[in-house]
Structure 1
Amino acid sequence: MAEVREFKTESKRLLDLMINSIYTNREIFLRELISNASDAIDRYHYLSLTDERLPKTNDYEIFISLDKKKRTLSITDNGIGMTYDELIDSLGTIAKSGSLEFMQKLKNKTDKEAIDIIGQFGVGFYSAFMVASKVEVRTKSPFSEDGYLFTSSGTETYAIDKVADLPVGTTVTLYLRKNGKEENYDEFLEEYNIRRLVKKYSDYIRYPIRMKVKKSVPKLDDEGKPVSGKYDEVEEIETLNSMTPIWKRRKADVTEEELNDFYRQKYFDANDPIATIFINVEGAVNYTALVYIPKKPPYDLYSERYEKGLQLYSKGVFIMEKCKELVPDYLRFIKGLVDSSDFSLNISREILQKSKELEKIADNVEKKIVSRLKDMLKNEREKYKEFWEAYGVNIKYGVYDAFGMKKDLLKDLLIFRSVNQDDHITLKDYLEAMPREQEYIYYTSGKTREQVLAMPQMDIVKKQGYDVLVLTDDIDEFAMQVLYEYEGKKVKSINQGDLDLLSKEDEKKLQDLSEDKKPLLDQMKEILKDKVTNVVLSKRLTESPVCLVSEEGISLEMEKVIANLPHQDKPKASKVLELNPNHPVFTAIENLYNANDPMFDEFAKLLYDQALLIEGFPLENPAEFSRKISELMIKAVKPS
């Protein structure tokens, strides 16, 4: 006669909560039951080492059985099994775990490291009710003469009955729910689907997961030769899991070819990765990580739908496809996985809680990746340039992000082309080549290096013999402003503010000339008052007639970038029009001003438009600009 008992908790409400809310993905029930079976084998194996009553064996296995007629799925293990009291304690009390209690008993033992037990929460078993209307558990402990049958339909009660002649271990049998309009529970009776789920979630469980499968083999004639086109259906026992993950092997025992093969197969990439980072950490937090830098970024890397993250395992059990907390935004391109016994999991393994352990692992993985990149930059410069072409923008974003919180970590990964160097150089390279008297690290921005080399603002810097870093990505100006300085040398845009490159004598001459030409400059400023904050004689132009620069704050390049962003606010740079007093164009406009010629206004606007074009800004009125140019051309060829 079966003994009927009530659950020790508010079981109906709690079961409903778990079945319908906590587990959002019903297929993980198989992962939970396999993990529980693995736990039970772990416990048997450990106790057999210290308890002479337990026969020692290495023939451990987890067996899955499917019965389509009865619509049942069973998971059998030859682990420790449960006594009557353990059955009530572990399955009769929701969120009570034999594994957790077992770990508590071992807390002060020195050989605790020998135990790998993942089932720290009893609710994993109850995930079975997502797909089953009834669950039976047949179990026998080596410390009990009797075996027991636990039966539950997920309501307030459960039944326990004695069963004779059970082997040591546990069998969990699920009676699958009836199919509904939107639910197909028959899929959990299909061999191919069970094989897929084991591969996805439990491929690296250390014990073999086996199942009887049907296979077609060639039909043989009386002489044992295959009959063409004829096949027999046979049943074979097949091991579904790999058992030993590549990242659990000693690093020294894994070849580069094996790591690359694993990457290509797991992440469906035809190319080998640029780099592989194999991390094994033992200490305050224990974990293994296998991280890859793909050769090419995915096409949707910068789209909103792209999901960053590393795969998450806990002792070989798959937990999560994309754990975004393990990857900073600027490293969103990396692929790989982390496996640790130190993750803090909530009651359903499906949802990972944020924890200090997770933060430590994420921080350590990031530092390991950056360290590998620095080593690549130092010792494999060509490979690093390949990485930079693919992901340089990401590193610069990392410098800029979070108000430059990681700029010190990343600044030595930055490489640039420059005016003097077509090949890439680091900031350290730039500093080592600087003349002793040079105060700043100079940079400028443009669409291409060729465009930058033609900029009028380059005049004075080239005259001094100083190199200038060439920036061509939208993020560059933002990153450089956040970087601010490197090894005590401030970074400075040649398009912004005062360059202070004139001698004191030349500075005094320009100051006196500016005072003398002040009425002309003020008149131009008035004409362009809606467009510029000031019109000045330039300290930086030697060959070009005119240029636009910005005051401190938003630069000209930033304005162009922000203009293309989907923001409502479009802040503008404070533009300053600079004129070269030694250029014939300035002499021409000065003559117009002195003659009180109405063409002076037209010339002022024309020079501003010219400066806009040089900087790559669109003209406010291209037709008007074209008309002015045409008039000047006609005037230039008209006989006087």
Structure 2
Amino acid sequence: MEKDKISVTSDNIFPIIKRFLYSDQEVFLRELVSNATDAILKLKTIAKLGKIEERIDDLKIKVKIDKKNKTIHIIDNGIGMTKKEVEKYINQIAFSGAEEFIQKYQEKNSASSIIGHFGLGFYSSFMIASKVVIYTQSYKKDSPSIFWSCEGTPTFRMKEIEKRDRGTEIVLFLNEESREFLEYDRILKLLQKYCKFMPIIIYLSSTEKEGEISINNTNPAWKKHPSFLRDKDYLDFYHELYPNQLENALFWIHLNIDHPFRLTGILYFPKIENKLDFQKDRIHLYKNQVYITDNLEGIVPDFLSLLKGVIDSPDIPLNVSRSHLQSDTSVKNISKYITRKVSDKLDSMFRTDRENFQKKWEYIKIIVEYGMISTKNFFEKAKNFFIFSTINGMFFTLEEFKEKIKNFQKNKDGKIVFLYTSDKERQYSYIKYAEDRSYEVLVLNSPLTVHLIQKLEMDYPNISFIRIDSSPIDKLIHKEEKYSSELSEKEKENLKNLINTYLMNEYKFSVKLENLSKKDSPFLIIIPEFLRRMKEMNSLGRKIVEKDQEKFYQLIVNTNHLLIKKILKEPKEENKKILIQEAFNLTLLSKNLLQGKNLTLFISKKIEDLAK
């Protein structure tokens, strides 16, 4: 029996491992199964070179749970280790690697700053085990079988033992705090999470259950050539990745490049409702078919986080801080490549099958919008296939729509005005005014609309996006014909005083008199475009209290409406008050701003009037 100390400089290496990696204890299983996979792949390589006499078949990894003895066994029939290799890879390299890795954690003071915690290797066993035993037999027949054990201190024991079958068995004697890992379902879920697509078949068994089950698909779709895959194969794999997804993906992109970096994968475009949701079923990052993480922050542009699928690359540095990734050349190139593949796919769909592209647009537009406002390279490509829909369901690119309206939708500064609605139902009356004048109105109802139109206006200085309810329609579009007021200056002053007296004590709107068409409403409630944009940009992601919004609203009074003249001619002050308040309440009701007590009083009075 050989007894010695592991080659590390600190006796505290094991407490440090447990302290800094505690939150990610579960990765021990990924690391040990990855090592077993490597051992089998190395054996296959040696066999191909003709350096093994025996027949190599039935290569596999077994994970066994022994709840009675409180142990977990990870067994492979791979290359195995000689005594010298145990000394090198276990006593020296593994633990010197442990020390180096832990130093990174100490510098950051946070395990979350390291990408994926991949490559922890053998020493991750001590996160959950009070004792670890190794039995190993090298493929070299003249080498003896080796026993090695360690109880979480720098001291180990090693000796030659009776001959075993080729391969390595690692036995973990679980500590008190980690007994959860003796539960069959817990280990099953971990294997399905981390090892679902590893290239060597993995079996799970337990002393408390009969038989064993296979865990993984060793040849997932992203490893196959696209020419061998049908649509059904891609969709089946999508549901294999995300078993809880009921709907199919809309379409997908197969990634495959080996220079200047190596990367394979499949990105799926799911149906996305009109909202940003980054939390559910995100893209999975793999390294050589081993699951690493679904947090790709710093690895791909943010807007791609809305997609689903798999990216597998051995060239993404994982044991570094996320901030370091931003300056890593490989990561920069990978990010550019994926962005280009996504934009190329969308551009190709738009050019080759526009009708189908338009059918899918409602479900993918928020991805495109997010990419346009956050990623310059994507914006330059996407502005050619980004499409706007009108209230009548027609689709136009920006250039197409600009050409359509350039002669009759301009403001006083000569800019082409892109009128739009964010809600066809709530802004119906404003849309009707525009339609009566034969203006075209777009539908822009995304939470990112305000950011996108700001970006487009910067890139196209001769256009201006204006929401349909931000001002009276005849003030939005420049017209040669002007409406003059039929009221005298004294009547205007009197009118403003009446409105301030009877309305603005309760509502803190600003008031503006406008000379509009007699056909327009007596009152309009608007939020001027620049104020509304400021409000929306400041409130993205949080709800503004209705009362806080009042400072943005403006009450437009149409001085040419017949009701306004009737109010001014009414001799009785009480009747003036009733006329003003009734007209104002109807305007509030049309904007969904009449609420609570005032709404109840208004309805009660109307019912009384009907009963008279």
TM-score normalized by the length of structure 1: 0.72
For residue 38 of structure 1, what is the aligned residue in structure 2? 37
Query: The residue matched to 1:491 in structure 2 has which SS?
Result: strand
For residue 538 of structure 1, what is the aligned residue in structure 2? 515
Alignment RMSD (CA, Å): 4.9
For residue 550 of structure 1, what is the aligned residue in structure 2? 527
Q: Does structure 2 retain, via aligned residues, the 8 Å contact 1:308–1:333? A: no
Q: Does structure 1 retain, via aligned residues, the 8 Å contact 2:511–2:557? A: no
Distance 1:243 1:398, change over 3 A: closer
Return the offset for 1:249. 0.8
Higher Cα radius of gyration: 1
Distance 1:198 1:70, change over 3 A: same
1:207 aligns with 2:185: no
1:177 equivalent among 156, 174, 179: 174
Distance 1:240 1:613, change over 3 A: closer
Matches of 1:378 and 1:24, distance apart in 2:
49
Q: Percent identity?
A: 20
The amino acid of 1:586's aligned partner reads I
Aligned length in residues: 578
For residue 280 of structure 1, what is the aligned residue in structure 2? 256
Map 1:12-411 → 2, pairs under 5 A: 12-19=11-18, 21-22=20-21, 24-46=23-45, 59=57, 61-64=59-62, 66=64, 68=66, 73-93=72-92, 94-96=94-96, 121=119, 123-127=121-125, 130-131=128-129, 133-140=131-138, 142=140, 145=143, 147-163=145-161, 165=163, 170-177=167-174, 180=176, 183-184=179-180, 186-187=182-183, 197-209=190-202, 241-268=216-243, 269-295=245-271, 306-307=279-280, 309-321=282-294, 323=296, 333-346=306-319, 354=325, 356=328, 357-358=330-331, 361-362=334-335, 364-381=337-354, 383-390=356-363, 392=365
Deviations 1:299-344 (A, max 9, x none): xx8789x445212211011223554666766565532121111122
Distance 1:313 1:378, change over 3 A: same
Q: Does structure 2 retain, via aligned residues, the 8 Å contact 1:562–1:570? A: no
For residue 418 of structure 1, what is the aligned residue in structure 2? 390
Distance 1:515 1:371, change over 3 A: farther
Matches of 1:29 and 1:484, distance apart in 2:
52
Q: Does structure 2 retain, via aligned residues, the 8 Å contact 1:296–1:390? A: yes
Deviations 1:382-421 (A, max 9, x none): 6545544445556556667x699976665566555435x2
Distance 1:575 1:272, change over 3 A: closer
Return the offset for 1:91. 1.1
Matches of 1:591 and 1:277, distance apart in 2:
70
For residue 112 of structure 1, what is the aligned residue in structure 2? none
Distance 1:395 1:625, change over 3 A: farther
The amino acid of 2:509's aligned partner reads V
Q: Does structure 2 retain, via aligned residues, the 8 Å contact 1:64–1:73? A: no
Deviations 1:172-203 (A, max 9, x none): 3315337x58725544xx6x876665444334
Distance 1:314 1:182, change over 3 A: closer
Map 1:398-477 → 2, pairs under 5 A: 415-419=387-391, 421-439=392-410, 440-445=416-421, 447-449=423-425, 452-455=427-430, 458-459=432-433, 461-462=434-435, 464-471=437-444, 476=449
Matches of 2:153 and 2:252, distance apart in 1:
50
Distance 1:244 1:475, change over 3 A: closer
Deviations 1:27-68 (A, max 9, x none): 443322221123234445556677x86659754724437485
For residue 567 of structure 2, what is the aligned residue in structure 1? 589
Q: Does structure 1 retain, via aligned residues, the 8 Å contact 2:135–2:148? A: yes
Return the offset for 1:252. 1.3
Q: Does structure 2 retain, via aligned residues, the 8 Å contact 1:395–1:414? A: yes
Distance 1:436 1:214, change over 3 A: same
For residue 592 of structure 2, what is the aligned residue in structure 1? 616
Map 1:477-496 → 2, pairs under 5 A: 479-480=452-453, 483-484=456-457, 487=460, 488-496=462-470
Query: The residue matched to 1:289 in structure 2 has which SS?
Result: strand
Q: Does structure 1 retain, via aligned residues, the 8 Å contact 2:81–2:136? A: no
Query: The residue matched to 2:466 in structure 1 has which SS?
Result: strand
The amino acid of 1:6's aligned partner reads K
Matches of 1:474 and 1:41, distance apart in 2:
51
Q: Does structure 1 retain, via aligned residues, the 8 Å contact 2:419–2:468? A: yes
Matches of 2:82 and 2:25, distance apart in 1:
29
Give unpaired runs (5+ residues) of structure 2.
101-115, 411-415
Distance 1:120 1:475, change over 3 A: closer
Give unpaired runs (5+ residues) of structure 1.
101-117, 217-232
Query: The residue matched to 1:154 in structure 2 has which SS?
Result: coil
Distance 1:369 1:425, change over 3 A: same
Query: The residue matched to 2:548 in structure 1 has which SS?
Result: coil
Matches of 1:127 and 1:153, distance apart in 2:
11
The amino acid of 1:252's aligned partner reads S
Matches of 2:312 and 2:488, distance apart in 1:
68
